[in-house]
A and B are shown apart, each in its own frame.
Chain A
């Protein structure tokens, strides 16, 4: 239960940050996608069932505060999670550089998927142009935020306990969520 509650609480805090605090200081394209970073992290660290369930819930949570169609982010985050999960068995998930690389790849993948779904099904006008023009800043700020979050996570690692297979945290076993 704690394993579900803590990521959901993090998701809620992240979404509140993204909608209230960050808009005061940063323009839209420079705001990091904190929920995407959380989904990537969960995809690498948690067991498949738990991570899939959490991804769906976090996607739905993001849908409440993004765009106009409910279900869009649930679908996109699930696709990002599944693709990351597909390759994670072959990757050294404890590498911090790899986690940052996956955040960059996840940002690109999310942009492509959003662009595809919005232009194909939703007739959302010039949304592809908006997404692509914001992509470089999005990658940069997502990476910066991912690095910052990892920095704090490492600082608080003793408090979180040395659970196996936590993404980006070194010197641990590589079994996802065991």
Chain B
């Protein structure tokens, strides 16, 4: 037996490894919104680093877009720039504060309109793959965040919390291919399921005879229990009706600019 194990050490190890990862994957397929101990530990350990890097990244980004990218303009205006540099830096700082103020004011307006308890959070990181659409926010278990809670901004729906660690959480964006929300067209009350396809959204199972038109607003219907009714999800960008078939194909443009997400609100369970 020992000889057999020694002789076939590598093939047996490969089989064992494949079985282990297969088992881990299949178990977690059924528990997508359960955070494993490993995930919780890594998220907890990396959150301060991500927060720090995110803040430094914002500085680098500001430097890149405000100074480096203007290299041609800078050549032309070198003399003027030199005298104005200090004032410019001050102005940028003021602008940043003003923009932040504007965004927070908008968020506060939203908070007043929604009766649920809301928790503001900062986006500190994005998904590490090219196909999934998730973000990491700087609020977690310690702040009362739980898996499944909806995340929004003043413009509309962002997504829902899928993993929670002590000080951070991962949010599945509505544009992710595995995301689906019960939605309805505001004007016609046509019901359907809003699904993500990476960049845009589609409204599936909308009956072919319903007169949905471009620019119609699509809201959450409140069915399914995750998102409250009446949150804006997207705007109809294209409608295609075939001669046959029960449903029409509707493409939606998200109302939220996911490439510029900085602050979000977690709609917390009122029972928490």
Contact = CB atoms under 8 A, between A and B. Distances in A.
Given A16-B53, A63-B39, A65-B128, A25 B28 contact: no
Interface stretch (A70-78, A96-104, A145-153): A70-78
A129 B197 contact: yes
B213 to A, nearest CB: 24
Contacts of B58: 24
B172 to A, nearest CB: 6
A114 B39 contact: no
Interface stretch (A26-34, A38-46, A155-163, A166-174): A26-34
A61 B42 contact: yes
Given A20-B57, A67-B132, A48 B10 contact: yes
Interface stretch (B14-22, B90-98, B101-109, B240-248): B14-22
What's the interface size class on A, roughly?
A: 35 or more
Contact of A68 (B57, B178, B195): B178
B25 interface: yes
Contact of A71 (B24, B57, B176): B24
A66 B24 contact: no
A10 interface: no
A37 interface: no
Contact of A19 (B39, B127, B178): B127
Contacts of B21: 56, 59, 71, 74-75, 78
B53 A21 contact: yes
Contacts of A134: 130-131
B91 to A, nearest CB: 22
B17 A56 contact: yes
Nearest to A115: B131
Given A15-B128, A19-B128, A134-B130, A64 B13 contact: no
A127 B197 CA distance: 7
Given A16-B50, A48-B10, A74-B24, A65 B57 contact: no
Interface residues of B, number: 55
A64 B127 contact: no
Contacts of A75: 21-22, 24-25
Interface string B34-51: 001011001100100110
Given A126-B197, A130-B197, A70 B18 contact: no
Contacts of A138: 130
A3 interface: no
B64 interface: yes
Contact of B134 (A18, A68, A70, A82): A68
- 6 tightest Cβ-Cβ pairs between the two chains A and B: A71-B25, A71-B24, A19-B125, A67-B132, A23-B126, A65-B128
Interface of A: 12, 15-16, 18-21, 23-25, 27-29, 31, 33, 35, 48-49, 52, 56, 59-72, 74-75, 78, 82, 114, 117, 121-127, 129-131, 133-134, 137-138
Interface of B: 10, 13-14, 17-18, 21-22, 24-29, 32-33, 36, 38-39, 42-43, 46, 49-50, 53-54, 57-58, 60-61, 64, 124-134, 136, 162-163, 170, 172, 176-178, 180, 195-198, 259
Given A66-B127, A66-B128, 8 more contacts: A25-B61, A52-B17, A70-B28, A72-B25, A78-B18, A125-B197, A127-B178, A134-B131
